[in-house]
């Protein structure tokens, strides 16, 4: 019997968890918003960006959405503020700012 994980929450008794605390679904890391860990925030300067896309693959989460060969604005729900994208950018199109707001 597959448990409906939608029914499991922080009030669920131990007898109602899934075996081995498994998640009976896939692709669910998107529901985990790591952006709330952030203490520093990258800011995207679109006018300096050459769309070289060196930033997107080095992001350890999925904070740099790419669509039709172009990156867009940061998705801050997934940005932990690690700053790797700012280091990777050859054109100073990403600058790190202190604090959680862009």
Binding site for another protein (CB under 8 A): 2, 10, 12-15, 17, 19-28
Q: Which of 96, 93, 92, 91 is nearest to 79 (CA)?
A: 96
Dihedral sign computed on CA atoms, order 92, 39, 28, 74? negative
- Minimum distance from residue 6 beta carbon to another protein (Å): 15
- Minimum distance from residue 27 beta carbon to another protein (Å): 8
Look at the block and give the residue holding tokens 């100073």.
Answer: 92
Cβ proximity to another protein, 31 vs 47, nearer residue: 31
Residue 79 burial (C-beta neighbours within 10 Å; 0-12, 13-18, 19+) = buried
- Minimum distance from residue 42 beta carbon to another protein (Å): 24
Cβ proximity to another protein, 29 vs 51, nearer residue: 29
């Amino acid at each position: 019997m597959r448990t409906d994980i939608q029914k499991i929450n922080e009030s669920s008794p131990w007898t109602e968890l899934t075996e081995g605390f498994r998640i009976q679904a896939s692709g669910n890391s998107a529901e985990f918003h790591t952006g709330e860990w952030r203490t520093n925030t990258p800011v995207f300067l679109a006018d300096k960006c050459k769309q070289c896309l060196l930033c997107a693959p080095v992001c350890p989460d999925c904070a740099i959405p790419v669509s039709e060969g172009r990156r867009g604005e940061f998705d801050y729900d997934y940005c932990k503020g690690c700053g790797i994208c700012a280091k990777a950018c050859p054109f100073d199109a990403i600058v790190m700012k202190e604090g959680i707001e862009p």
